[in-house]
Amino acid sequence: MQSISALLIILGILFMFLAISQVRRLFHLLEGKIFNSWKVLFWLILLFTLSYVVALILVFLDQTQYIVPLVGFVFMGGAFFVFLVIKTSLTSSQRLIEINSSKKYLDDIFRTMGDMLIVTDKNLKIQTVNATTCQRLGCVESKLINKSAKDVFDFEELKPNTLFESRFRTKDGKGLPVLVSVNLLEGINGNIYVIVAQDITQQKENEEKLKLYLDRIERKNDELNQFAYIVSHDLKAPLRGINSLAEWIEEDLGEVSDEVQNYLRLLRGRVLRMENLINGILDYSRIGRKKLPIEEVNVNELIHEVLDSLSIPENFTVKMLGEPLTLNTEKILLQQIFSNLISNAVKYHHKEKGNIEIGWTSENENHQFFVADDGPGIAPEYHEKVFGIFQTLEARDTFESTGIGLSIIKKILEEKQQSIRLESEVDKGARFIFTWPN
Amino acid sequence: MSEQEYYKQKLIEKNQEFEDFVYIISHDVKAPLRAISNLSQWIEEDLGEDVTEEVQINLSLLKNRVKRMEMMMNALTEISRIKRTNLNIRELESRKAIEEIWEDLNVPATYQLELNGDFPAFQTLSQKLKTVLFHLIENAVKFQKRTDALVRVSCDELKTHFQFTVEDNGVGIDEKLTDKVFSIFFTMDSKEELNSIGAGLTLCKKILDFVGGEILLYSKENEGTKIVFTWPKEIDTKKNY
């Protein structure tokens, strides 16, 4: 009887040692609440193992009368142990359910997301793809697993936390333009690449369309300029011919009636007007076609030059307001703008004395220049129109004005991506304000 | 407004700018030109018979120049009105139209017209197609030095367009100049010549741009000229080309 008992207890101790080694393995996997529970269980197991050893000793020493209290202790401990194990199991199961539903949640996202998702190992071998990837590439999941990412799309190297454009190799050969983002994560068995690719077919198409529009606009612009140039150029020749012929006729005729003299004078006047008109068209067409020289321009000096060349009549007072300013810019253009604005201010003035103010302020990106007069002003409803080509508010006869000046100014400024605006009301003078780059 | 919308709008504005420009030039330059023409007339009338030969020659040259400028202006006007006039869709019998053009041109009896292929009868902007055919055939007849002049007009049916070809055995154009021929006022004749302003091909090209066709010219000096153009079978006049 004693030897059977001893044998059974020894087997018990063996199982306890096995249990202890398993628990130690368990410890590596666990954390948190469950870990703490198992720590307690571990100590209980140690305690039991100790009691088994004690029981074995008692059996050998034949002091079996002390085994009874020991057995009582072991029964109680055992029940407590079972209770703890079941409680821990419960917690574990709950955790498992949470994890499973989390997993399902992620799986659903993974499955239904509209972008393509590819997960590869550190050697770029594909481990997982989502449904969208298979659909877009046009092949089943099994065909993609274990293939290299390089088989699926083009790239030099996958740098983590990068965003770049690429093309997916689709089954039908057409290719799919994509925007790819790459992330490097630590996985269970080493690093993994998480690749998310977004279909940018629409964006690419829009880019193409935009390029086309820009191209057509540029070509139309070139066409317009070329057309204006050719027309004005081809019209000048016969015009010169007409002028010369009229001159010769006049010379050859000598003494003629007043009427004929008048006709000749009018004829040459019209020829001159046509010439001005055509030159204006030529100027208009030249803007933006030639590269003009850039020089250092002292704005004060420039405006004085312009005033001199325009021969401002004595009844005009010109005031200049602005800090001394020197720019590196196309002098000719700035000169044309001031020349046009100031000559307009003089030409359209209606009173005995005239006042013209020219000034500027400087901001960070550009300068604001203005030319203001106290002339008849322009009604607000015409403020846009005055910049139209050939627009004049008075009949062209009255002022020998070709009506091109303001449209030239506008075109010059548009080419430089600047702007001009007009502040004016009838009888309240006019102020033209334009910007010029720094 | 999206970027695309913005640039589309800009393109429409640019197109409009071009048309406005052409219209304004032809319109505003015409006024003083008319005045000059009238004045030269009145001067001539007032001077009467009693003028030197020199003055007479100069007066006539002056009138010639003025007339030429007027014709240039008229050509520009016609070009500027492409999108606004003759927009009626009517039945056109192209074979008959070509034959009528040939008759109207009043060519020497030795000139020959050859028609190849099936010429369609269809609903289209018939006035504009007639204009294009007229200018091309007129050019073929004008730039001709041989008495056995031959003008061959053929037609092929493509999927969406009809392809017309106008060939001649005339003086041809130096290959180096063939890409200039559609430029406004480009002409091989001297600029004194009142007969050619150099706007015919420009007009044709602009009309074809408008309807959605294409035009190409092949030529070599002294080896005749071949012009091929396509005309759409169906025209959508609402589209802003």
The pLDDT value recorded for residue A390 is: 57
With cut-offs at 50, 70 and 90, classify the pLDDT of residue A19. confident
Chains A–B, number of C-beta pairs less than 8 Å apart: 123
- B7 and A217 within 8 Å at the Cβ level: the answer is yes
Locate the chain B residue with the closest alpha carbon to A390: B24
Which is higher by pLDDT, A38 or A397? A38
How many whole angstroms separate alpha carbon B149 and alpha carbon B160? 33
**Nearest by CB: B25 against A226, A248, A281:** A281
**Maximum CA extent, chain A:** 167
Which is higher by pLDDT, A285 or A436? A436
Q: Within its chain, how far is the Cα of B89 from the centroid?
A: 21
| Residue bearing tokens 């393995």 | A25
How many whole angstroms separate alpha carbon A114 and alpha carbon A133? 9
pLDDT for residue A398 is more than 50: no
pLDDT for residue A290 is more than 80: no
Taking all residues of chain A, what is their mean pLDDT, rounded to a whole number?
Answer: 85
CB B213 within 8 A of CB B161: yes
DSSP state of A125: B
The pLDDT value recorded for residue A399 is: 43
Q: Give the tens place of pLDDT for each residue, B27-42.
A: 677 878 888 888 888 8
pLDDT for residue A22 is more than 70: yes
The pLDDT value recorded for residue A158 is: 81
With cut-offs at 50, 70 and 90, classify the pLDDT of residue B1. low
Q: What is the DSSP track for A62-90?
A: T-GGGHHHHHHHHHHHHHHHHHHHHHHHH
Q: Give the tens place of pLDDT for each residue, B165-189.
A: 999 999 989 888 888 888 888 887 7
Give the number of other CB atoms < 10 A from CB of residue A195.
Answer: 24
The pLDDT value recorded for residue B208 is: 93
The pLDDT value recorded for residue A288 is: 63
Locate the chain B residue with the closest alpha carbon to A230: B184
How many whole angstroms separate alpha carbon A34 and alpha carbon A27? 10
The pLDDT value recorded for residue B201 is: 93
**Residues 177 to 236 of A: which have CB under 8 A from any B CB?**
206, 209-210, 213-214, 216-217, 220-221, 223-224, 226-228, 230-231, 234-235
Give the mean model confidence (pLDDT) for residues A129-136: 90
The pLDDT value recorded for residue A397 is: 44
CB B174 within 8 A of CB B139: no
Query: Where are the alpha helices (H) located in B2-93, listed in sequence order?
Result: 3-47, 53-80
Instruction: Give the gap in angstroms from C-alpha B177 to the nearest C-alpha of chain A.
Output: 16
The pLDDT value recorded for residue A392 is: 57
Which is higher by pLDDT, A297 or A159? A297
Question: Could you give the strand order of the β-sheet that contains A354-362, starting from the edge strand earlier in sequence?
Answer: A316-321, A354-362, A366-373, A430-437, A420-424
What is the percent of chain A with per-residue pLDDT over 90, rounded to a whole number? 20
Does the CB of B185 have a partner CB in chain A at under 8 Å? yes
Q: Half-sphere exposure of residue A156, counting CA atoms within 13 Å on the CB side? A: 5
The pLDDT value recorded for residue B116 is: 92
The pLDDT value recorded for residue A2 is: 75
The pLDDT value recorded for residue B53 is: 84
- B47 and A238 within 8 Å at the Cβ level: the answer is no
Query: Where are the alpha helices (H) located in A254-298, listed in sequence order?
Result: 258-286
Instruction: Give the gap in angstroms from C-alpha A125 to the nearest C-alpha of chain B.
Output: 41
Among A222, A245, A266, A281, the residue to mutate for chain B (most B Cβ within 10 A): A245
Which is higher by pLDDT, B228 or B77? B228
The pLDDT value recorded for residue A343 is: 86
Among A211, A230, A242, the residue to mutate for chain B (most B Cβ within 10 A): A242
How many whole angstroms separate alpha carbon A149 and alpha carbon A132? 16
The pLDDT value recorded for residue A393 is: 53
Instruction: Give the gap in angstroms from C-alpha A157 to the nearest C-alpha of chain B.
Output: 34
Does the CB of B12 have a partner CB in chain A at under 8 Å? no
How many whole angstroms separate alpha carbon A261 and alpha carbon A168? 83
Q: What is the pTM of this model?
A: 0.59
Q: Give the tens place of pLDDT for each residue, A212-241.
A: 888 888 887 777 777 777 777 788 888 888
With cut-offs at 50, 70 and 90, classify the pLDDT of residue A400. very low
Which of A30-39, A151-160, A287-296, A305-314 shows the lowest mean pLDDT across its residues?
A287-296
The pLDDT value recorded for residue B217 is: 94
In the structure encoding, which two tokens stand for residue A355, read together?
A: 């006042």
Does the CB of B42 have a partner CB in chain A at under 8 Å? yes
Give the mean model confidence (pLDDT) for residues B147-168: 94
With cut-offs at 50, 70 and 90, classify the pLDDT of residue A30. confident
Q: Which amino acid is at A101?
A: S
Which of A128-137, A272-281, A348-357 shows the lowest mean pLDDT across its residues?
A272-281
Does the CB of A272 have a partner CB in chain B at under 8 Å? no
pLDDT for residue A436 is more than 50: yes
Instruction: Give the gap in angstroms from C-alpha A270 to the nearest C-alpha of chain B.
Output: 5
The pLDDT value recorded for residue B239 is: 58
Q: Which amino acid is at B9?
A: Q
The pLDDT value recorded for residue A395 is: 47
The pLDDT value recorded for residue A256 is: 79
Top-confidence range, A186-190, A283-287, B229-233 = B229-233
CB A429 within 8 A of CB A390: no
**Nearest by CB: B18 against A223, A253, A263:** A223
Among B3, B69, B72, B74, the residue to mutate for chain A (most A Cβ within 10 A): B69
The pLDDT value recorded for residue B11 is: 79
What is the percent of chain A with per-residue pLDDT over 70, rounded to a whole number? 95
The pLDDT value recorded for residue A391 is: 58
Instruction: Give the gap in angstroms from C-alpha B69 to the nearest C-alpha of chain A.
Output: 7
Does the CB of A389 have a partner CB in chain B at under 8 Å? yes
**Nearest by CB: B18 against A220, A230, A253:** A220
